[in-house]
Chain A
Amino acid sequence: MRNVIRKILPAVALLWATSAMSQDDLPIPADELVYCTVCHGIQLMGNPIIRAPRLSGMETWYVEQQLRNFSAGVRGLHEDDTIGVDMQPMAAVLTDAQIKAAAVFVNATRSTSPKITISGDTLKGKAHYSTCAACHGVAGKGNEALGSPDLTIPDDWYLVTQLQNFRSGVRGSHPADSYGMQMRASVQLLADDEAIMDVVSYISTLRND
């Protein structure tokens, strides 16, 4: 019941998360999922020093997709991936059932929107985003059928690294990474780092919490 309420009323869940009095309703990780919170922060709120992105409320299917990618070494083992390599061994030890449980936990977590740390030109960013919208949706909420994730959840600094990773091939060049390859093709529309900052700044405006 509570889960349903939370899905309908994310704003209410948000209030729970921010007020110290009413934290009772937030999910408590099983022992083997406490690890996730050590890097990704309490309620997976993200931690820039650890470089682990916010995951709170992320779509179950996408979390599973990424955990499987990390686990299979499709993501995180590129020789120039100095960040994904921190995550990869964590996923590698998860059984299939644990991956599913992890995704359910991730989806149930709640935290306030992360701070904006990237300052780009949102107008230019909006223009760039028009192509992205084809897959990630106009509101940036993603599209499961296309394997494209909600972009309004993770921290902006993380989106920047990912776009740079797709561009350089650190992510999305593994032969078994078909979704990553699609994204890698799309990122070529962003000419340089400035374009990346701009589009990420625009995506930040799509956050609705």
Chain B
Amino acid sequence: MKKPLTRRHFLNLVGAAGGTTAIYQTSRALGLMEDTGPVAQLDLKNVARSRKKVAILGAGISGLAVAYELERAGYDVTIIEASHRIGGRNMTLRHGDLIDEMGQQRTCNFDDDPDLYFNAGPARIPGHHHRVMHYCRTLSIPLQIKSNVSRMTYTHEENKFGGKPVRIGQYLAETRGLLAEIVHKAVNKNAFDETISVEDQERLLAFASSYGDLDPNGIYKGTLRSGYKSGGFAKPAEIFERMDFREFLSSQFWQRASFMFENPDWGEPLMEAVGGMDNIVKGFARDIKSPIRLNAQVQSIQLQQNGIDVVYNHKGKRKKLSADYCFNSIPTHFMPGIPNNLPEDYRNGLKSLQPGWGFKIGLQMKERFWEREGIYGGATFTSQRIGEIWYPSHGIHGKKGILLGAYQFYDPSMFFDRMTPEERIAYAANCGEKIHPGYSDYIEAGVSVPWRRMNHMMGCGTRFSEDARERYFSLLQQPAAGRHYMIGDQISYHSSWQEGALASAETALLDLDKRVRAETGESRKA
């Protein structure tokens, strides 16, 4: 009964409900460029002579990447951003930063210290996100390994294992021991038909024994892989007894601790920008010379006969920008509230996307107590509403540290969003106590970021129904009237990932280039 639900949740967690094969097929069909693998040069035609004008709406990762590329190809670019800051969802919070939550605006109260920062949006980059890596390389943004999985962190379920956290290493060893033992028994009982030869059966037995660390009789009796219960150094090692397997089977929770990291987006090793993920944003900003208008909310988008007009408010005035092309990364859920004359079916397509959720808490801890528990980086999982606790991979053995104290990616009830900032921190502190007794006493400061309530954003992780994606996705990947490109991770199979934002930017840029070349009878080299 519960299964389809949890699977759906899982897909939402993954943030790529379209499935990976879908990604490959669609873009191959577009015949543009390999979707995965090393990034090829965009090789955009230089248009400096004709000075083509481009309006970029939104200065998130996708808008910035488009600005960076087009400016280099000689386009006349203006970036229009509604917020007081650039970066969009790529946001790192430090001492004194404004948290522009609707109705609960406040500032970040961390100490003023470069090591004390919190990645409130993106925090992890897997190696197969080639476009993100490409820009980090191009913009010289130093990266470091971010430990995402650790055998030393915990999995915790309120009503399993006596409510006690279990080290993930032990949990994994136990589940594998259990499975291996079952395989072993099945082989010995000849549960397989003839298709498995005696020789292969022998091999399977050997594999199972090794997989689960079984004893010579094929019984799982606990393993050193679970970690040392005591000793092992000056004294003889004592290992943990095996756990009650029924607890595992009745658990609704195994997939998070055991399988989450089998998804390539979370597979080790992951990377992060040294000093905060927004260094990617800063890298773009450093190398973009085109004007970026902040506090400039788009008011209207009108296709014209020979161009596209964008009206925006800036410093108490309405401004009109007449451009040849527009790249629009405004969250699609705002588009029904922005006057425009985009074609009807295109507008219906935009309306078919629904905003998702995303909530994080960052806690400044006065001591790095987790390091005394042997935890260096990685994440703890709990069935409590906070979902996860992450331990920083940087600043090891420093005095203080910022923990991620809650992470929810799917919560239609908006449980935390509805609280005051103080209530959120208090709630997270209480949950933390169940895993690390004394947790609350270490908390010195805290920030909470409910993306559904953040100004000019109001969501993360665009949701397309399967029908809507089928019907509208390729339409939205095309420019309306050849002039208006909708971009951002929302127009990708990797919503909630910067790679999705960059993939959509790339798709749009290549299409533009094709059109611009076609004006002079050229075509892109295959």
Residue positions of A touching B, CB distance < 8 A: 17-18, 20, 23-24, 26, 28-29, 31, 34-35, 37-43, 45-50, 52, 85, 89-90, 92-93, 111
Q: Are B455 and A40 in contact (CB under 8 A)?
A: no
Q: Is the CB of A34 within 8 A of B297?
A: yes
- In residues 322-372 of chain B, which contact A (Cβ within 8 Å)? 333-334, 336-339, 351, 354-355
B137 lies within 8 A of chain A by Cβ: no
Whether B300 is near chain A, meaning CB under 8 Å from some CB there, is: yes
CB distance from A150 to the nearest CB of B (A): 21
User: Binding site of A, secondary structure by majority: helix, strand, loop or mixed?
Assistant: helix
Question: Which residues of B (290-348) have their CB < 8 Å from a CB of A?
Answer: 295, 297-300, 302, 309, 311, 313, 316-318, 320, 333-334, 336-339
Contact A20 B309 (CB under 8 A): yes
Set A23, A43, A50: member contacting B458, Cβ < 8 A: A50
Tell me, yes or no, whether B456 is within 8 Å of chain A by CB: yes
Residues of A within 8 A of B302 (CB): 20
Q: Which residues of B contact A45 (CB under 8 A)?
A: 337, 339
Given contacts A49-B336, A49-B351, contact A28 B102 (CB under 8 A): no
Q: Give the CA-CA distance A111 to B339 in the complex, in Å.
A: 9
CB distance from B365 to the nearest CB of A (A): 29
Inter-chain CA distance A50–B354, complex, in Å, is 9
CA distance A45 to B339 in the complex (A): 8
CA distance A194 to B318 in the complex (A): 44
**Which among B297, B318, B333, B418 is the interface contact of A24 at CB below 8 angstroms?**
B318
Q: Are A50 and B311 in contact (CB under 8 A)?
A: no
The contact size tier of chain B is 20 to 34
Given A41-B338, A89-B103: A49 touches B354 (CB 8 Å cut-off): yes
Flag if B455 contacts A35 (CB, 8 Å).
yes
How near does chain A come to B431, taking the closest CB pair, in angstroms?
Answer: 23
Q: Given known contacts A28-B313, A90-B103, is B456 in contact with A38 (CB within 8 Å)?
A: yes
Question: In the complex the two chains form, is A41's CB within 8 Å of B103's CB?
Answer: no
Taken together as a complex, chains A and B put the C-alpha atoms of A199 and B43 apart, in Å, by 59
Q: How far is A20 from B342 in the complex, measured between Cα atoms in Å?
A: 13
- Against A, the Cβ 8 Å flags (1 = close, 0 = not) of B81-113 are 010000000000000000000111000000000
Q: Jot down 28 A-B pairs with beta carbons below 8 A, ordered by A.
A: A17-B339, A20-B300, A20-B302, A20-B309, A23-B300, A26-B299, A26-B318, A28-B317, A29-B313, A34-B455, A37-B337, A38-B102, A38-B456, A39-B337, A41-B334, A41-B336, A42-B298, A42-B338, A43-B339, A45-B337, A47-B333, A47-B334, A50-B458, A89-B102, A89-B103, A89-B104, A93-B104, A111-B339
CB-nearest residue of chain B to A90: B103
Residue of A nearest to B351 (CB): A49
Q: Are A42 and B299 in contact (CB under 8 A)?
A: yes
Residues of B within 8 A of A31 (CB): 295
Given contacts A42-B299, A89-B102, contact A28 B311 (CB under 8 A): no
Pairs of residues from A and B, 8 with the lowest C-beta to C-beta distance, nearest first? A41-B337, A89-B103, A47-B337, A20-B302, A90-B103, A49-B333, A42-B299, A47-B336
B418 is contacted by which of A28, A39, A85, A90 (Cβ under 8 Å)?
A: A85
Closest Cβ–Cβ distance, residue B335 to chain A (whole Å): 8
Residue from the set B302, B339, B354, B355 with the largest chain A CB neighbour count within 10 Å: B339
Contact present for B337 and A40 (CB under 8 Å):
yes
Give Cα distance in the complex from A93 to B82, angstroms.
21
Binary contact track B407-440/A, C-beta < 8 Å → 1, others 0: 0000000000010000000000000000000000
Contacts of B455 in A (CB 8 A): 34-35, 38
User: CA separation between A37 and B297, bound complex, in Å?
Assistant: 10
